[in-house]
Amino acid sequence: MSNGFWDKLEKPFFVLAPMADVTDAAFRRMFAKYGKPDVTWTEFVSADGLCSLGREALLRDLMYSKEERPIVAQIFGSRPENIERVASLIADLGFDGIDINMGCPDRSIEKQGAGAAMIKNPKLAQEVILAVKQGSKGLPVSVKTRVGYNQIEIDEWIPKILETKPAALTIHARTRKEMSDVPARWEHVREVVHMAKGTGVLIIGNGDVADMKDARQRVMESGADGAMIGRSVFGNPWYFNESIDHLAIPLEERFRVMLEHTRLFLELLGDVKNFAVMKKHYKAYVNGFDGAKELRIQLMGAETIEDIEAYVANFLSKHSIATKGNGAV
């Protein structure tokens, strides 16, 4: 069976991690424009929710643009019948692939038997993967998980996933118990790479990647086919663009892009998401320069785009930083 776009990727490849309340449509479009990853993931979406009366609101999480391709929709759930229905919906929406979250440690997700709870129920995990395949109308199916629940369970857990032959398997190199509180151990990614040899399943390492140089080093040392990057991309839509010096991007350009991101968020999601969602991004955009702390404090208290624009313009004026074009940031 064809693995769709996965078969066409040059190795190593580098992908944008799915992150709740982060990788929304606005965030992803910024990366598609300034530093495109090889593959993009949506935020994870509840399969049960997509089968409920709340479906219309959740469909906004599956909004995407053609510039983001190849784009993978990530879902979670523990009811194979709902998972199969949602896989069919995702195929109809034109996505390039479907990914199943089997690693999220959020307690509310685990109470549903989903996310990292799947590690404790390999039989159900297999049923879920096969249900997605059944409903996917030929789209490639992938899985994202961890190396264990309370302890390392690679030998027991990973073969159960590999038996279902997903197109790709992303390994977060920590257990559920460890959350993100300890350093990721990429030697476990290497173990999974050896385990998957000959299966045709692509292995993607995930955890603590600092930058693209670090990503390439970790992939080389582990033998993984690619790396998935999450937290270190914050405030840096240029992240995957290796042709530019990220440290040399002028401050005025960073602010311009931050404001572009804000306007896009309001345009696409302002009616369904709280403006406070943007503030985690301001913490990352406004960092590492004189006066950053004071400006961050102002932005954290802002309630409108006009506030944000005024604070940025005032900062640039106060610090005598010239702006390009017509003077607008």
Which residues form the catalytic set?
A: 104
- Which candidate, 275, 311, 292, places its Cα nearest to that of 24? 275
274 vs 295: CA distance, rounded Å? 21
DSSP 61: G
H/E stretch holding 300 reads helix 292-301
Return the HEC string of 250-305: CHHHHHHHHHHHHHHHHHHHCCCCCHHHHHHHHHHHCCCCCCHHHHHHHHHHCCCH
Strand partners, 170: 144, 204
Instruction: Pull the structure tokens for residue 223.
Output: 């033998």
Residue given tokens 């004071």 in the structure block: 294
38 vs 69: CA distance, rounded Å? 8
**DSSP readout, 140-165?**
-EEEEEES-SSS--HHHHHHHHHTT-
